A and B are shown apart, each in its own frame.
Chain A
Amino acid sequence: MMTLFSQFTSMFKNPTSRKKILLIVSGISILSGWFFFGVMEATFTGNALMILAALVAGYEIIQKAWLGLKNRQTNIELLVSIAAIGGLLIGIYWESAAVTFLFLLGGWLESRTLQNTRKTLKNLVELVPETATIVREDETETIPAQEVEKDMLVQVKPGGRIPVDGKVESGESSVDESAITGESIPVDKKQGSKVFAGTINQNGRIFVRAGKAGADTTLAKIIRRVEEAQDAKAPTQRFIERFARWYTPGIVGLSVISFIITQNIELAITLLVIGCPGALVISTPISVITGIGRAAKEGILIKGGEYLENAGKISALAFDKTGTLTQGKPKVTEVFSLQSKKVPDGFEKEVESEITEDEVLYWAGIAESGSEHPLAKAILEEARNRQEVPEADSFQSYTGFGVSAGYLENEILVGNPSFMKEKNIRVDDEALQHIEALSGKGRTVVLVAKNGELIGGLGLFDTIRPDAPSAIRKLREIGIEELVMLTGDTDSTAQSIAEEVGIKTIYSRMFPEDKHKIIEQLKADGHRVAMVGDGINDALALTDADIGIAMGAAGTDVAIESADIALMADDLTKIPEALSISKLTLRNIRQNVVIALITVAALLTGVFAGEVHMAGGMLIHELSVMLVILNGMRLKWMK
């Protein structure tokens, strides 16, 4: 008996289970009250049960009202308490019971649904394992994850979560990084690969050299960002809070005035019941929490409600080409040899060239082995992919033109066509045809000469990201018509990339300050402008734009903390996704505000027209709050 009692008191102490007990008791009282009214026609017992129901449900409400008063605050609970007590005093017992019960039920349902909404964040927090297994002199030891220090060696078993940010020291595995990037396809990791806390090691055992732990990890930063974003008030929310601040006192005033004029106490307390701006104050937060949470789950960090609202209004989007539309790494895409000979007399088949394409690359590679130029690196990489490439014996660089090098009595020249002209190398018609064809395709052309004679050439290209064309298409689909590419490249290169990805407006040969001017111009034309960059050399233009979007932010803390929208993955299709989530959220906020305002107007009209009474008023009020919350939650799965 004692244990049952103590169990009950502990349940009663816990706010969550207490609410449930109060709801059940008062609900049963109301139902049996109706039974006595209707079936038994025992008005006295019925009324007594209604009073009991009102007191039980009211217990929680009055307690909160009292707590508020103690802290010198008037709150919604106070209004409901006054109304319910007033109702009991003037003898409308069933209305009092209904008002308190509905208020409590509504609050409980709202908590439940909001819990569900806040779950995204909770799930993220729970992703980080609490302990880490570290390896010290061949012995393993388990310690709390946040106590792992830099450069400790952490062992992660297959199927385990990685407890820290760091680099793979040994072992190979694939890792599910969806917690960070929102991408569900596992990423292969080997020695030297970066790994993040909270991601799941799939099939191999790996040892990780710890970088950052606990609150310094990328995941912790993401969680902080998401939380700050959710708590940052959107402009609509600020507006509504100003409205709510005078709404409640206004209703109380209205209630007092109408009592003085009409002497109708029931009308006065009914007004108090509908005086809580519940649906209004929750209309914006619920959409913002859900919108930002949904985005975070897909690896899109939006800085806050304000940015969400702004991003929803974007009409123009500018791309900084390198590193966003393209990979940011030029690659050798074509090799041609000039010293191949046709077989005479009717044979159409080409015989083996005297100098093969591989040989062209071989000599170009030797010459470029001493250069640090991005194009040189690309050439050397491609040459080394195909064969062993020795270092040049001597080397000289001509900035903007090319290089000359010596290797075992051979003199090699690698550079653009004007460099060859300068060096008196004959560029024949066949070579000219190759150059024309390649520049037409937007390639950067590099010629190779050996011992005074042209042997061939290379076409280089900064390849576009494979997902670029589909991302551009999707952006058009969601109504962003003004798509602009900014680049420092030459016209023909820019043109061909733009064609390949599907962008019509190009600004080529741009310096950073020009990019800033283009953004200003777009704004002056009345556009809301978003700018996409890799966040490294386009910082100015990113801050200029209404919304700055940084790509591939997973490894760079600055981007996570400063960009208006940070895309954790290097995935262009996340841009249309981010913008469409923003658009959906913006529309959702507007819907909610409209629902809330209509409810308030309808309730006020109804009360003064004598059509809405206490119980009905509370019911409509709670229904409108639920409607707004459920509408907000649609954002979780809406396309």
Chain B
Amino acid sequence: MKTLTKTILRSDELNCPSCVNNIESNLNSMEGIEKATVKFNSGKIEVDHNPELVTEDDLLAAVQQSGYSATVSPF
């Protein structure tokens, strides 16, 4: 049985609501990620993932690949 963790990232760089789709689909296509939601207004990125397959650094790299910087946030 795999265990999922919820990691919250924040990016305050999102500049148009359509970039949300870019980040979301990029994250969702990764193995080990159950669900990723990007909230444009608050700049919050919520990811449910299997920490053994995808680490926090992997998540940050994926967001960076989509063209935005993010940081991990406690809540």
Contact residues of A with B, CB < 8 Å?
A: 13-16, 60, 63-64, 67-68, 71-73, 75-76, 107, 110-111, 114-115, 118-119, 121-122, 125, 146, 214-215, 220, 223-224, 227, 230-231, 241, 276, 278, 281-282, 285, 288-289
Q: Which of A72, A114, A119, A223 has the most CB of B within 10 A?
A: A114
Given A13-B64, A16-B69, A220-B75: A227 touches B15 (CB 8 Å cut-off) = no
CB pair B13–A125 under 8 Å, yes or no, is no
Collect the chain A residues with CB atoms within 8 Å of residue B58's CB.
none
CB pair B43–A118 under 8 Å, yes or no, is yes
| A286 to B, closest residue via Cβ | B41
Given A16-B13, A114-B15, A115-B12: A231 touches B42 (CB 8 Å cut-off) = yes
CB pair B64–A14 under 8 Å, yes or no, is yes
Collect the chain A residues with CB atoms within 8 Å of residue B43's CB.
114, 118
- A–B complex contacts, Cβ < 8 Å, 26 sampled: A13-B64, A15-B64, A15-B67, A64-B22, A67-B22, A67-B66, A107-B15, A110-B16, A111-B15, A119-B12, A122-B10, A122-B12, A125-B10, A125-B75, A214-B75, A223-B75, A227-B42, A230-B41, A231-B39, A231-B40, A231-B41, A231-B44, A276-B16, A281-B17, A282-B17, A285-B17
Given A71-B25, A71-B29, A111-B13: A121 touches B42 (CB 8 Å cut-off) = yes
CB pair B68–A107 under 8 Å, yes or no, is no
B14 at the interface (CB under 8 A from A): yes
- Nearest 8 CB-CB pairings of A with B: A71-B25, A110-B15, A230-B41, A231-B39, A227-B42, A111-B15, A118-B12, A115-B12
Collect the chain A residues with CB atoms within 8 Å of residue B67's CB.
15, 60, 63-64, 67
CB pair A75–B18 under 8 Å, yes or no, is yes
Interface size class of B (residues with CB under 8 A): 20 to 34
Extra contacts, 14 of them, besides A121-B42, A282-B16 (Cβ < 8 A), are: A14-B69, A15-B64, A15-B67, A68-B22, A68-B25, A71-B26, A76-B18, A107-B16, A110-B16, A114-B13, A214-B74, A215-B75, A223-B75, A231-B41
CB pair A224–B75 under 8 Å, yes or no, is yes
CB distance from B74 to the nearest CB of A (A): 7
CB distance from B60 to the nearest CB of A (A): 11
CB distance from A74 to the nearest CB of B (A): 10
B5 at the interface (CB under 8 A from A): no
Docked pose: A73 CA to B20 CA in angstroms? 12
B55 at the interface (CB under 8 A from A): no
| B41 to A, closest residue via Cβ | A230
Task: Give residues 15-40 of B contacting A (CB, 8 Å).
Answer: 15-19, 21-22, 25-26, 29, 39-40
CB pair A73–B69 under 8 Å, yes or no, is no
Docked pose: A16 CA to B67 CA in angstroms? 8
Docked pose: A60 CA to B15 CA in angstroms? 14
Collect the chain A residues with CB atoms within 8 Å of residue B22's CB.
64, 67-68, 71, 73, 75
CB distance from B19 to the nearest CB of A (A): 8
| A18 to B, closest residue via Cβ | B67
Collect the chain B residues with CB atoms within 8 Å of residue A75's CB.
18, 21-22
Given A13-B64, A63-B67, A288-B41: A114 touches B18 (CB 8 Å cut-off) = no
Docked pose: A68 CA to B43 CA in angstroms? 19
CB pair B13–A73 under 8 Å, yes or no, is no
- Give chain B's interface secondary structure class: loop
- Give chain A's interface secondary structure class: helix
| B39 to A, closest residue via Cβ | A231
Docked pose: A71 CA to B13 CA in angstroms? 21
CB distance from B15 to the nearest CB of A (A): 4
Collect the chain B residues with CB atoms within 8 Å of residue A220's CB.
75
Docked pose: A67 CA to B65 CA in angstroms? 9
| B24 to A, closest residue via Cβ | A71
CB distance from A113 to the nearest CB of B (A): 9
Given A231-B41, A288-B41: A146 touches B14 (CB 8 Å cut-off) = no
Docked pose: A420 CA to B63 CA in angstroms? 79
| B73 to A, closest residue via Cβ | A125
Q: Which of A71, A214, A220, A289 has the most CB of B within 10 A?
A: A71
CB distance from A438 to the nearest CB of B (A): 54
Docked pose: A13 CA to B12 CA in angstroms? 18
CB distance from A114 to the nearest CB of B (A): 6
Encode B50-71 as 1/0 by CB contact (under 8 A) with A.
Answer: 0000000000000011111100
CB pair A73–B21 under 8 Å, yes or no, is yes
CB distance from A58 to the nearest CB of B (A): 14
Docked pose: A252 CA to B11 CA in angstroms? 31
Collect the chain A residues with CB atoms within 8 Å of residue B68's CB.
15
Docked pose: A289 CA to B41 CA in angstroms? 6
Collect the chain B residues with CB atoms within 8 Å of residue A14's CB.
64, 69
CB pair B42–A118 under 8 Å, yes or no, is yes
Collect the chain A residues with CB atoms within 8 Å of residue B42's CB.
118, 121, 227, 230-231, 289
Docked pose: A241 CA to B10 CA in angstroms? 23
Docked pose: A214 CA to B16 CA in angstroms? 32
CB distance from A226 to the nearest CB of B (A): 8
Docked pose: A220 CA to B8 CA in angstroms? 14
CB distance from A346 to the nearest CB of B (A): 80
CB pair B17–A115 under 8 Å, yes or no, is no
Collect the chain B residues with CB atoms within 8 Å of residue A67's CB.
22, 26, 65-67
CB distance from A257 to the nearest CB of B (A): 24
Docked pose: A110 CA to B40 CA in angstroms? 13
CB pair B25–A281 under 8 Å, yes or no, is no
Collect the chain B residues with CB atoms within 8 Å of residue A111's CB.
12-15
| A292 to B, closest residue via Cβ | B41
Docked pose: A138 CA to B29 CA in angstroms? 54
Collect the chain A residues with CB atoms within 8 Å of residue B17's CB.
241, 281-282, 285
Docked pose: A67 CA to B25 CA in angstroms? 9
Collect the chain B residues with CB atoms within 8 Å of residue A76's CB.
16, 18
Docked pose: A325 CA to B67 CA in angstroms? 52
| A114 to B, closest residue via Cβ | B15
Docked pose: A119 CA to B25 CA in angstroms? 26
Docked pose: A218 CA to B26 CA in angstroms? 34
Docked pose: A285 CA to B16 CA in angstroms? 10
Docked pose: A252 CA to B31 CA in angstroms? 34
Docked pose: A223 CA to B43 CA in angstroms? 13
Collect the chain B residues with CB atoms within 8 Å of residue A241's CB.
17
| A230 to B, closest residue via Cβ | B41
Docked pose: A146 CA to B75 CA in angstroms? 11
CB distance from B30 to the nearest CB of A (A): 11
Docked pose: A111 CA to B43 CA in angstroms? 11
CB pair B16–A278 under 8 Å, yes or no, is yes
| A72 to B, closest residue via Cβ | B25
